Every structure is written in structure tokens, then in C-alpha cells.
Amino acid sequence: MNLALAALAVVLLGASTSPEEHLREVEEWHAGRIERLRSPTGWLSLVGLMRLSEGSNTLGSAEDAQLRLPDSAPAHVGTIILQDRQVRLEGAKGAVLVDGKPAGDVVVLNPDASDRGESTTICDLGSLQFFVIDRPGGFLLRVKDAEAPLLKNFDGKIERWPVDQRWQIHAQWIPYDPPKVLTIANEIGFTEEETLEGYLRFRIDDTEYTIDPLRVGDELFIIFADETSGVESYGAGRYFYTDLPDEEGAVIMDFNKAYNMPCVFTSFATCSLPPRGNRLPIKATAGEKMWQGEKN
């Protein structure tokens, strides 16, 4: 769907920058996005995602290891024990750094969504890094490698639509009363419930649309799909963030900052998928197009 002049007028009501300033802002954001992808611990470094079984899980590069690490790791690193929602690493003394310090005989591994409020425990083993994540359906071990081929070969290029300020959309925050409980599915087949305090309402080509954002810290996180999904952009959808609503409930949704889910780069991510109401019946021709490279 093409954006008409009527839509342009609506959009510009919410725009607070000139086209030149907007272009500079989006390009700076994109440069930061590429820099984050190039990080030795960014999404391109993911090389493993393994479910923890209750009880003992052997860890290493040996063929019979229950948690199989890349060949660069020792054959036997230790054992990860899951018991009553507590995760421990045992027998890795001298081989692994835990939060930058040599591992002891027994180390408690706090997951990334610890219900006790602790920070995630990071384990380093040569170029590898691993830690536990807590997702619907259970605990998993996530593994990253600073020497991953995808990371090393990444040329920093992701095809995008030209930056267009017409896709800097003015939206209005509408509270839910009572709050809405939304079920979000992810790429590994599980769902989780999110409580939403409100939704966003906006217009394109004189047609009104709504979208449900998630609050993440001091931002709104938007998971969406559109008519480019599976054709010009990633089939599962894309993401972008916005500022929280201002005092009048105004929000600027900049589709120029829409980016590919991590699952476009790697099979080892747990990407949240767009809920039904966030599948827009329009072509959002802004932001990142489909990644053409091979996955980790």
C-alpha cells in the first residue's frame, strides 16, 4: 500500500525533526545497530541453545556430552545440575571463568530472568561464553562464540528501504481498562502472558489501525508483521522500540527503525512472535529487509 498525501500530513503532525535531522537520527541508530551485531557477544555470536533436563547435564565438546559445546571446548568441562529451579555448575574448577573469576567446585548459575533478582551469571571458556536463560517451558543453556564464522564474516550490510519520514507515524496511547492480558508465542514453541496497560492507535491513508506494544524498561517494544513479511522482510516479523507516551499520550512510531528478529541470523534465539492484532494489513516499506546471509 502506498502512503498518500493525507497520511503524510498526519505523520508530520507528530514529527519533531526536519527530514535532514530525521535521516541523521535513523542513520546513527542503524550504525549503532550494526555495532551491536558486531559485538563478540552479540546475536551473531550465538552457536548453541540447549534445554536443561532436571538433574545432571554433562557439559563439554565430547560426542556423548548432554550439553554439547563447540569443538574448541574441552571434551569434559563439568556438570550442570538443575534441581528445584536452582542451576549449579559443578566440577569446572580451573577451566571456566565465572563472572570474570576462576570457577569454584560448585557455582550457582543465576538465569537471565532470575526470580530472585540476581544478575545473570556469565561463564567464559576461551572464546566461548555460556549462561542459563529462563523461558516458558524450562531452562536453557545459551552459548556464544567470539570466533563464530557468521560474526567473523559479517560485512555490516543489511538491506533496508530508503529512510522515509512518512513512516515516522504519530500514534495515540489508549489505556486498557482493565489491563489486557496478551499471550505471546515464541520461535521455540512456547507462550508467555504479558499484561498490557494500553495500546497504540494511528492512521495511514485515512485508515485507522491499532497495535499492542510491550513495555520494556523506559520504552515501548513493538512486535509486528505486515504484508512485506515473508516477501521482502523476515517472514516472522520485525521489531522496533519507541519512547513512552508523553503527558498527552502521544507516541512516535518510527518504522524506519524496524529491524530483523535475531532468529533471522541464528537458529539459537528465542524470538517473540507478533500477536494476532499486530499483523498489519499494509506494506510497511521502511526499516530492514530480509537478511540474505546464512544462519548460525
Q: Would you say residue 254 has pLDDT above 60? A: yes
d(CA 114, CA 134): 7
| Structure confidence by residue, pLDDT tens digits, 131-173 | 999 988 899 999 999 999 999 999 999 999 999 999 999 999 9
Domain match, 195 and 254 both: yes
Domain match, 218 and 203 both: yes
Assess if residue 257 is contained within a domain: yes
The residue type at 18: S
This model's pTM is above 0.75: yes
How does the average pLDDT of the chain come out, rounded?
Answer: 91
Domain match, 211 and 270 both: yes
Q: Would you say residue 52 has pLDDT above 60? A: yes
Mean pLDDT value of segment 74-102: 92
CATH code of the domain covering residue 142: 2.60.200.20
Assess if residue 163 is contained within a domain: yes
Structural contact between residues 253 and 200, judged by C-beta atoms closer than 8 angstroms: yes
Last residue of a domain, one of 123, 153, 183: 153
Domain match, 49 and 134 both: yes
Domain match, 112 and 252 both: no
Domain match, 54 and 166 both: no
Assess if residue 286 is contained within a domain: no
Structural contact between residues 42 and 152, judged by C-beta atoms closer than 8 angstroms: no
DSSP bridge partners of 184:
192
d(CA 57, CA 69): 12
Domain match, 100 and 242 both: no
- The residue range of the domain holding 235 is 5-38+157-278
| Structure confidence by residue, pLDDT tens digits, 4-48 | 433 433 343 444 689 999 999 999 999 999 999 999 999 999 999
Domain match, 171 and 137 both: no
Write down the pLDDT at residue 137.
81
Cell triple for 247: 503527558
Q: Would you say residue 194 has pLDDT above 60? A: yes
Structural contact between residues 121 and 131, judged by C-beta atoms closer than 8 angstroms: yes
| Structure confidence by residue, pLDDT tens digits, 241-251 | 999 999 999 99
Total domain count for the chain? Answer: 2
Assess if residue 291 is contained within a domain: no
Last residue of a domain, one of 119, 136, 153: 153
Residue 246 Cα distances to 8, 179, 187, 241, angstroms: 22, 19, 33, 15
Cell triple for 221: 517494544
Domain match, 114 and 182 both: no
d(CA 29, CA 19): 15
